Amino acid sequence: MTYIERLKLSQLLEAAFFVSDSPLNIKQLKTELLINYKVSHQEIREVINELVIKYKDSGINLVKVASGYRFETITTLSDDLAFFVAKLNKEKAPKYSRALLETLALIAYKQPITRGEIEEIRGVAVSSYIMKTLLERNWVKVVGNKEVPGRPSLYATTKEFLDYFSLTSLTQLPELLPLADLGATDKTIEEMV
C-alpha cells in the first residue's frame, strides 16, 4: 500500500463528495476510494472535519446525514439566496399529500407501527398508494410482523428517510406538541383566516 499526502487525501475526498450522488461514509471511502492507500479511519475523519470547516461559511456545506457525508446547498443558504439557486434546478420538488405526510410522521414517531394502528390514530383508512409511495421512495420498510392475529406488517423509517430530511438520527425530529396544544394552534389559525 502507498502512503497518501494529506493535501492529496483532502482533494480526493472533496472530489468524491462532489461527484457522488449519495452520501459517503468512512468505510466506503476507505474500501472503495482509498483501497490502494495506507490511511486510517482517524485520518479520514480529520480531513472530513477540515472540509466541514472549509465550507462552513460558503454556499455549500459538507454535512453528516444518516448514511455518511454529502454536500448540500439550499438549506445552507439564506431564504433570499435559496430562491435564486432554486431557479436553476429545473426539476420540480414533488408535492406530497397531507395524508402521505401524516402517515410518514406517524411511522417516524411511533415506529414500529402497523397500518391498522396508523388508521386508528388518523381515523381514516391508509391508501395503498400512500404505502406504496413510501416503500418505493425507500423512506419506510417492513421490519417484521406484529404477533397478533393476521400478523400485520410493522413499518419503520430507513436511512434514506433520514438522508432526505438531512437528519443523522430520529432524535433530531422536532418534538411533538401535546394534543391540547395542537387544538389551540388550530383555533388560532382559524381566527386568523
Every domain of the chain and the residues it spans:
2-88, 98-192
pLDDT at 190 over 70: no
2-88 against 98-192: fold identical: yes
Q: CATH code for 98-192?
A: 1.10.10.10
pLDDT at 169 over 70: yes
pLDDT at 181: 52
Prediction pTM value: 0.74
Q: What angle do CA 188, 180, 107 make, to 5 degrees?
A: 105
Amino acid present at 62: L
**pLDDT tens string 27-83:** 999 999 999 999 999 999 999 999 999 998 888 889 999 999 999 886 556 666 777
pLDDT at 63: 92
Contact criterion met (CB below 8 Å) for 138 and 104? no
The second-level CATH assignment, the architecture, of 2-88 is Orthogonal Bundle (1.10)
Q: For residue 81, which of 63, 54, 60, 51 has the smallest C-alpha distance?
A: 60
